[in-house]
Amino acid sequence: MDAKLSVNINKIATIRNSRGANTPDLLKTAQDCERFGAQGITVHPRPDERHIRYKDVHDLKPLLTTEFNIEGNPKEQRFIDLVLNIVPAQVTLVPDVTGQLTSDHGWDTIKNKDYLIETIALFKKSGIRTSIFVDADIRMIEGAKETGTDRIELYTESYAKGYSENKLKAIEPFIAAAKKANELGIGINAGHDLSLENLNYFAKNIPGLLEVSIGHALISDALYFGLENTIQLYLRQLKSTYQPSFFKEEQE
């Protein structure tokens, strides 16, 4: 089964907010992404609402027909209240700090074990699938199992940065992390700096990959290729997702 593509629409909100009106129309864009083939919509509201606003999340909920994924820092009570009110298909917990430009690290699932257990249980009680943002570190994957999370989201910036220099080396820790997650029965999502250049290789080498969340690269590509064509290009990269012999063939 191919991994699902969830389109992060934060950048659409950033452009809209820069002029203070409603162009581009965030709600219509989200619906168009679904119409063009996206299997999910991701938003990541932050306390300063510099892109997605909390009102946007409320407005999106009744319009979406695919999976709604809300990312954010659960240490913000406003975020917790928002998710419990909206009840999306999935909540992705990200350990952002105040004023952070973009997500740049995963949870320390060992140090934050008790907190994550409590928080994840709160969301799961409302029937919300939980995913936690983690680095490709075996210890963090093992720690994630102890929290009760349904899934992890592998933070893929290091893979994206290392891909052009040595893609074999760049992907090795992610393969190991994925195998450990599979062994422990944890679902696997992935995101951050995945692009048309590196997505196919990642998807073909990660066993059990269920979903990728992509925003910045996809919206940037849409400036050249158009939104509908771009979404189709990304979906094409996810076709026949995992090929067990692919990594071995590359090494040879």
- Token digits for 44? 């990541």
The residue extents of the domains of the chain are 4-251
- The arithmetic mean of pLDDT across residues 22-32, rounded, is 98
- The arithmetic mean of pLDDT across residues 85-97, rounded, is 92
User: What pLDDT, in 10s, does the model give residues 131-155?
Assistant: 999 999 999 999 999 999 999 999 9
**What HEC string does the chain produce?**
CCCEEEEECHHHHHHHHHHCCCCCCHHHHHHHHHHCCCCEEEECCCCCCCCCCHHHHHHHCCCCCCEEEEEECCCCHHHHHHHHHHCCCEEEECCCCCCCCCCCCCCCCCCCHHHHHHHHHHHHHCCCEEEEEECCCHHHHHHHHHHCCCEEEEECHHHHHHHHHHHHHHHHHHHHHHHHHHHHCCEEEEECCCCCCCHHHHHHHCCCEEEEEECHHHHHHHHHHCHHHHHHHHHHHCCCCCCCCHHHHHHC
Q: Does 3.20.20.70 match the CATH number of domain 4-251?
A: yes
* Rounded (5°) CA angle 2-4-5: 125
Model-level pTM? 0.94
Active site positions, annotated = 44, 71, 192
- The arithmetic mean of pLDDT across residues 81-105, rounded, is 82
Beta bridge partners of 188: 152, 209
Phi-psi region of 132 (alpha: psi -120 to 50; beta: other; left: phi over 0): beta
**Tell me, what's the pLDDT at 241?**
73
Instruction: Please give the mean pLDDT across all residues of the chain.
Output: 94
User: What pLDDT, in 10s, does the model give residues 183-197?
Assistant: 999 999 999 999 999
